[in-house]
Amino acid sequence: MLNSMILSYITFIYFFSFLFYLLMMVMGKEGFGRVATFVTLMGFAGQTFAIALRWIESYQLGIGHAPLSNLYESLIFFAWTIILLYLVVEWRTKNRTIGAFATPLAFLAMAYASYSPGISSRIQPLVPALKSNWLIAHVITCFFGYAAFGLAFGLSVMFLLKKIDRPKRNSFFLKIIPESSLLDELSYQMVVIGFLLLTLGIITGSVWAHSAWGSYWSWDPKETWSLITWLVYAALLHSRMVRGWRGNKLAAFCIVGFCCVLFTYFGVNYLAGLHSYAQS
């Protein structure tokens, strides 16, 4: 179908974005960064068009629904939210170095969706359990939350890399990474946004579960892991109030938190249950 073909090309556009951001950091020329931003914007516009097209194509097939219903569609949407959030952050902070750490996440998600043999890009009809308005609210809030945590993860990696930068070292790559306090502050802001969105995601999921299955919380692996993720980030937010918990410990926490996000998204499919994408 046209939409999945476009999306498979967008994968490479994001790869080129990543290359240009990386070139900017290694060669130290802002020009590469401007190209990178341009390429990313083009990719984002194309991806938005493809997603809208997929939505329309589903109606043409008579099984119209928002493109958020299976693993393929959620991966595409995840990449879209990461790029959108990154572009907003780039615009507000005027800083392009974060691009080298954000675009690979989007590229990997798109590559997995488009080229993994186990994932079908066909538009599939909605089974009765998915026919609900809560689907859109739940998926959107969850994935924007995941994207914010993904950016916090990228920022934490940058923070730890910066730590190995010494005045004697002449690595332009490390020098161009913004200073630690900015990374720390930005990472915290991303965690705050992600936490609010994840809370909304869990809430919309619970309300939906209650109307579909009669129980707003049944401790199934996906629900439980989303709670585990929530608890880890709640601990992170509290830890900023404890002295001595800035910097390295926080960055490590963000990385662990994002691993929980990844397990909540992908890992639980290997654990069976009501939520498993593996069944579709």
Partner 1 sequence: MTDRGRQGGVQSFSLWGAFTSIKLTLFLLLLVAVTSIFGTVIPQQEGALELAEKLSPGLFRFLSSLQLFDMYRSLWFRLIIGALAVNLIVCSLDRFPSSLQRFRSVPKADREGLFQNLAPERSFPVKTQIEPAREVVEQVLKSKYRKLETKDGDRGTFFFGEKGRYTYFGVYLVHFSVLLILLGGIVGSLFGFEAFVNIPEGDGVSKVTLRKSRISKSLPFTVRCEKFSVEFYPNGAPKEYRSDLAFIKDGKTAFHGPLRVNHPITFEGITFYQSSYGSIPGDKVRLSLKKQGTEENLSLEADMGKPFPLPGREGEAVVTDARSDFMKMGPAVHIQIRPTAGEEVHFWVFKNEKMIKQRFPGIFERFPKLNPGSFKPYVFSLENMDSRYYTGLQVSRDPGVILVWAGFLTIVIGLFVTFFLFHRMVWVRLSEGKKGVVVAVAGMGNKNPVGLERELDSVARELRKKLDGAPS
Q: Which CB sits closer to partner 1, 77 or 230?
A: 230
CB of 63 to partner 1, least distance (A): 7
Closer to partner 1 at the Cβ: 46 or 267?
267
Q: Which is nearer to partner 1, 39 or 268 (CB)?
A: 268
**Which residue's CB is nearer to partner 1, number 40 or number 229?**
229
As measured in angstroms, the least distance from the Cβ of 242 to partner 1 is 5
Give, in order, the Cα–Cα distances in Å from 117 to each of 72, 113, 120, 176, 207.
11, 9, 8, 39, 34
Q: Closest approach of Cβ 226 to partner 1, in Å?
A: 11
**Contact call for residues 223 and 275 (beta carbons, < 8 A):** yes
Q: Decide whether 126 or 174 has the Cβ nearer to partner 1.
A: 126
Helix (H, G, I), strand (E, B) or coil at 216: coil
Please answer whether residues 240 and 254 qualify as being in contact, where contact means their C-beta atoms are separated by less than 8 angstroms: no
Name the 3-class secondary structure at 246: coil
CB of 132 to partner 1, least distance (A): 4
> For residues 278 and 229, what is the distance between their CA atoms, to the nearest angstrom?
21
> Alpha-carbon distance 77 to 97, whole Å?
23
CB atoms within 10 A of CB 45: 11
Minimum distance of partner 1 from residue 20's CB (angstroms): 28
Cα separations (Å) of 40 from 11, 43, 99, 103, 163?
Answer: 11, 5, 9, 8, 28
Nearer to partner 1, 19 or 234 (CB): 234
Joined together, the tokens standing for residue 75 give 């991966």
C-alpha to C-alpha distance for 204 and 97, rounded to whole angstroms: 34
Binding site residues, partner 1, CB under 8 A:
63, 124-125, 127-129, 131-132, 192, 195-196, 199-200, 203, 206-208, 210-217, 219, 221, 224-225, 227-228, 231-232, 234-235, 238-239, 241-242, 268, 271
**Shortest Cβ 255–partner 1 spacing (Å):** 15
